[in-house]
Structure 1
Amino acid sequence: MTAKKKILIRIGSLRHGGAEKVLVTFLKNLPKDKYEIDLLLNLYSGKYLSEVPDWINIIFLNKGEMITTNRPHEIPKKAARVIYQGTLKKFPNLLYKGKLKNKKYDIEFAAIHGMRDEILGSPLKSSKKIVWIHNDLSQVKGYTDDEIRKFFGFDKIMVISEKIEQLLLNLAKNDNEKQKIVRIYNPLDTEEFLTKAEKPVINYSFDGNIPTFISVGTVFPQKGFDRLLKVHKRLLDEGFKHKVLIVGDGYDFENIKKLKTELCVDETATMLGFTDNPYPYFKSADFYILSSRYEGFPTVLFEAITLKKRIISTEVSGAHEMLNNGELGLIIENSEEGIYQGMKQALSQPETFEKYSEKLKDYEMPFNLQNSVKKITSILDKL
């Protein structure tokens, strides 16, 4: 019998983000007899912790919830974490000799682009290095072409959409670099969405007479919830009755909540906060709206397609691929005006969405869980 491949996977935490969800779905579908996996988290926290299979060894640098505020009593703890994690990043030998007990890995895997330097800075020179890029880096602050080129230090660069693949291909200087790039659609479990969607809606009541737009995601500026609320206000002022439901949590939550009050839309817009099952809300809403400024490959559209929702999406990386170039949903200009036009169309001409619903009826996803897992494991096996 061949020896199990020893793999170190690194990610910040297992909080409620797309990349975290995708990683855990992937781990749940891996054959445990082939690999020995250490999952190293900077912070032992997040809703997906409980879903990690028990054969995977979880190691962490710090424990506790993420500190996103600057409350005086939390600053010492936050500072201690930053110093500790920064020291281990600067002197990786301390980490590998200490926490990782001098273990030798065959593969070291950055599960998000933010772990690039930690993996490339590993003292293990013989291990193969992989990164999984979930974001359109051309839209992420600080990622100049030179910064993005550093990813070619990896043996394999897994990307989740055509747009990210193209970005890297354009920056590659030779065939060797081009061959490192491989596109893999996110492993997502459609059965799970459909089963969870059957559960009851809690803490919210849908009104059958008033159209509701739902948007689900981590509350970051990237997601454009500020634009969504401003458009909501504008449409209400023009006499279009509707509701907006935002499901998710994140460091921008209080700012968006404050904006909602300033716009005087507290009666019609609801911020539900985080729920580990957004699917019943999806199912009951009339429209799904993606108001993001940028994305890597918006997993949430995959969920909306699976639940056969009428979809409006800003033109972000992955939107054309997901929505079959606009056959499965309305793709709008990536601006506040674009969001306004899209929502106004939904409210004033709902019949224009029937063609999307028709297409969605018998639509089969071109990417599925088994294919994605198979493709990733074949990369691991060949390295």
Structure 2
Amino acid sequence: MKKNILVASFDLEIGGVERSLISMLNNFDFKSYTVDLMLYSHTGEFMKLLPNKANLLAESKAYKTFRMPVLDVIKSGQLSLAFSRLLAKYLANKNHSSENGYKQMQYMWKYSVPFLPKLNKKYDVAISYLWPHYFVAEKVDAKIKIAWIHTDFSTVETDIELDVKLWSKFNYIVAVSDECKHAFISKYSELEDRVIVMENITTPELINTLANEEADNPMVEDARFKIITVARLSYAKGIDSAVKALKMLNDRGYKNICWYVVGYGGDEQQIKDLIEENNLTDQFILLGKKINPYPFIKEADLYVQPSRYEGKAVTVVEAQVLSKPVIITNYPTAKSQVKDGFDGSICELSVQGIADGIEKLYLDSRMREQLVTNCKDTVFSNLNELNKLYSLI
């Protein structure tokens, strides 16, 4: 008899977490397991990539409110949830921290839980794929509960007491890399026995096929040295640092370098303003949302991930699959992502560090070629990682 599995996440907008979820579901063993998928919002370009064998549960009006503006939540009649949002914002802002978004999300879910509906069905296993994990922790009846870690929790400010209570409701906690696991344990040492590592699923054949699709791509006709980044326009991803690094390279006389970014996010206007302030309109180019970023990565000379922190960036592995030289900043989990000097380069996590790293590879074509060769010789397929999940189930 098949076991019943629930997988829960927010939506399928374009992003690394969402891409890794789609990859996992498209390689899932549906012969052995029945899978229900609970998306709080049925939105996003990746919706069309969902496998038919995954049963998408009906959208819930209550859960859909979590990324709606508070005024829209009030208009929808969800007054208790709107009040919870306002209370969460007030409590998070009391701390006057530079990045209180994580605490605000924690409080928002905590105070919303009493007003959220439960799932009636009982499951053998329930997987919460995206933090905060309140839905699976509080509103799902399952014999085994598993939560995913996609970020470096040692670098973000959260209410630790609240987090420990929440994480403790899960039998297993899955980190996407060894470094991600160690960072988590450094903050929540009492949960160490529950944490295992399971990497994001990578399917090189699909990535290479999609990279050859036709796209409206300005990079094709651009004869300059082309850098590419695929990321959300957010503080964590460091796109502002990328703009400043390109300005620094310009000031050093490297006028032949351009930087393309595939992605979207809340910091878009701030990034656009920064580009204009630094007179980089023709060199730092925002391409916006792309459901298929691979043709753009394929056309680049160099992939750069200027993040302030990561769990394990899906797009970095994808760039390596496409045999691109890669630079990543030295965020705490960087060494689990790239073997420095072998299949990529790790630079100092600063504007100058990014600029120096790019300058080094720009001038050293032999090193770039060696990184490309090493990526071509590396096997990035890791479908066997799913066996770790099956063993938990």
Q: Which amino acid aligns with 2:291?
A: D
Secondary structure at the counterpart of residue 312 of structure 1: strand
Secondary structure at the counterpart of residue 130 of structure 1: strand
Moved more, 318-327 or 38-47: 318-327
Q: Distance in 2 between matches of 1:78 and 1:219?
A: 29
Cα displacement string for residues 71-100 of structure 1 (whole angstroms, at most 9, x for unaligned residues): 98x5755894953996994227x612xxx3
Secondary structure at the counterpart of residue 126 of structure 2: strand
Q: Is the aligned partner of 1:130 residue 2:146?
A: yes
TM-score by length of 1: 0.85
Structure 1's 64 and 291: CA in aligned 2 closer, same or farther, altered over 3 A? same
Contact 1:315/1:333 (8 A) holds in 2: yes
Q: Distance in 2 between matches of 1:58 and 1:161?
A: 28
Contact 1:220/1:250 (8 A) holds in 2: yes
Q: Which amino acid aligns with 1:378?
A: S
1:291 is matched with which residue: 287, 290, 306? 306
Structure 1's 264 and 236: CA in aligned 2 closer, same or farther, altered over 3 A? same
Superposed displacement of residue 227, structure 1: 0.5
Q: Is the aligned partner of 1:254 residue 2:269?
A: yes
Q: Which amino acid aligns with 1:91?
A: P
Counterpart of 2:122 in structure 1 is 104
1:231 is matched with which residue: 245, 260, 263? 245
Counterpart of 2:60 in structure 1 is 61
Counterpart of 1:213 in structure 2 is 227
Moved more, 152-161 or 317-326: 317-326
Contact 2:245/2:354 (8 A) holds in 1: yes
Counterpart of 1:191 in structure 2 is 205
Counterpart of 1:52 in structure 2 is 50
Secondary structure at the counterpart of residue 121 of structure 1: helix
Task: Give runs of aligned pairs for residues 23-34 of structure 1, distance below 5 A.
Answer: 23-34=21-32
Structure 1's 291 and 340: CA in aligned 2 closer, same or farther, altered over 3 A? same
Q: Distance in 2 between matches of 1:227 and 1:328?
A: 23
TM-score by length of 2: 0.83
Cα displacement string for residues 336-356 of structure 1 (whole angstroms, at most 9, x for unaligned residues): 121111122233333333332
Q: Is the aligned partner of 1:374 residue 2:387?
A: yes
Moved more, 77-86 or 188-197: 77-86
Counterpart of 1:95 in structure 2 is 117
Contact 2:172/2:196 (8 A) holds in 1: yes
Task: Give runs of aligned pairs for residues 1-383 of structure 1, distance below 5 A.
Answer: 2=1, 4-59=2-57, 60-62=59-61, 76=74, 80=78, 82-83=81-82, 89-91=112-114, 95-96=117-118, 100=119, 102-114=120-132, 116-122=133-139, 124=141, 127-142=143-158, 144=160, 147=163, 150-170=166-186, 177-206=191-220, 209-241=223-255, 242-365=257-380, 368-380=381-393
Q: Distance in 2 between matches of 1:287 and 1:64?
A: 40
Contact 1:44/1:64 (8 A) holds in 2: no
Q: Which amino acid aligns with 1:6?
A: N
Gaps of 5+ in 1: none
Q: Distance in 2 between matches of 1:235 and 1:248?
A: 23
Q: Which amino acid aligns with 1:29?
A: N
Secondary structure at the counterpart of residue 40 of structure 2: strand
Gaps of 5+ in 2: 85-107
Q: Which amino acid aligns with 1:11?
A: S
The sequence identity of aligned pairs, in percent, is 27
Structure 1's 156 and 67: CA in aligned 2 closer, same or farther, altered over 3 A? closer
Contact 1:233/1:265 (8 A) holds in 2: yes
Q: Distance in 1 between matches of 2:137 and 2:7?
A: 13
Secondary structure at the counterpart of residue 215 of structure 1: strand
Q: Distance in 1 between matches of 2:22 and 2:300?
A: 27
Secondary structure at the counterpart of residue 105 of structure 1: strand
Contact 1:88/1:95 (8 A) holds in 2: no
Superposed displacement of residue 213, structure 1: 0.7
